[in-house]
Structure 1
Amino acid sequence: MDEIIKRHVATIQSGDRVAQGQAFAALMEATETPVDWAYEAWDELLKTLTHRDNHQRAIGAQLLCNLAKSDPEGRILKDFDALLEVTRDERFVTARHCLLSLWKIGLAGKQQQARLIDGLAGRFADCIAEKNCTLIRFDIVQGLRKLYDQSKDETIRQKALEWIETEPDLKYRKKYASVWKK
């Protein structure tokens, strides 16, 4: 890992919000394509998922999702539950940042895609009692659409449509289905 990347990883764990934001943006851009330093940062990012600062939890979750494509060992499969737990964060903004990034894990391979789909199926079902259930479900459906657009895997579209049909409120069922009419 080069010195600039090391500095960015250290900076996202600082309390300086401006520097943290700049480092986060740089790391997100760097991880848009596979990188060879993923495992050098992995454990530090994994630790941030339970950090007391919700901002650091969100940053760590998003970066780990981006690093899934740089994970030939399949660590994301073992660490997926920790990411899924962030989607239940006490701070909804943190939960949402994670939820909106999870779909990227499905691009890393068939095992990762299967793990993602299983996790999201459970999350789609179990969020029913949560305050922001409809937004969580909408975000899940949007994530599946992004994954489908990248992978063209028809089973993803079928799963999303099946889950949408389980929504008891017709208004929300139509809203979720609109994501697939594009």
Structure 2
Amino acid sequence: MALPVPPPVVVLTGVAGSGKSTVGKLLASRLDWDWADGDAFHSAENLAKMAARKPLEDADRLPWLDEIGQWIDKESAEDRPAVIACSALKRRYRDRLRAGRPQVRMVYLVVDLKTLHQRMTDRRGHMFHADMLGSQLAALEPPTREEGVLMIRSAGTPELTAEQIIEWERLRSYIPVGGSRRGD
């Protein structure tokens, strides 16, 4: 007899400026699912490094990914579907978040360079400066077909992007038509 799979946790991935937080908040709100921004899990050292406009390295990111994994486990243990934004730039980062977690669904937001640059220069007060985008693009390993990651072009409205993800989840037979999982 197979063990029951916990409710889904959608992990929105992509480089800075791809819309992870904006789409994630909308998605979680529309579905009445829990929401977290992966940036909130960074250590004080990581935040200081980014504030100094120094790119993070693998050694900086691995403990951060483990913190996010613990949050996913907590949500699952409480039987709560959730959405979290996390850059997960490399395949090994995505694999680390999925390891032993069949409920994790990865969504990669694809954005053209011109749009990314515009979004990064337009936003104010964010810890990640526009001049650091190059370091993320250099580290990026876009998902491959074998990974089973939903790839969505995030060039339309955030609402449209969120709706595409909802349809994808609905096709995975988790969300009933016309509602969220909670309260069913």
The TM-score, its normalising length taken from structure 1, stands at 0.29
The TM-score, its normalising length taken from structure 2, stands at 0.29
Is the helix fraction higher in 1 or 2?
Answer: 1
Q: Could you say which structure has the greater relative contact order, defined with CA pairs below 8 angstroms and 6 or more residues apart?
A: 2
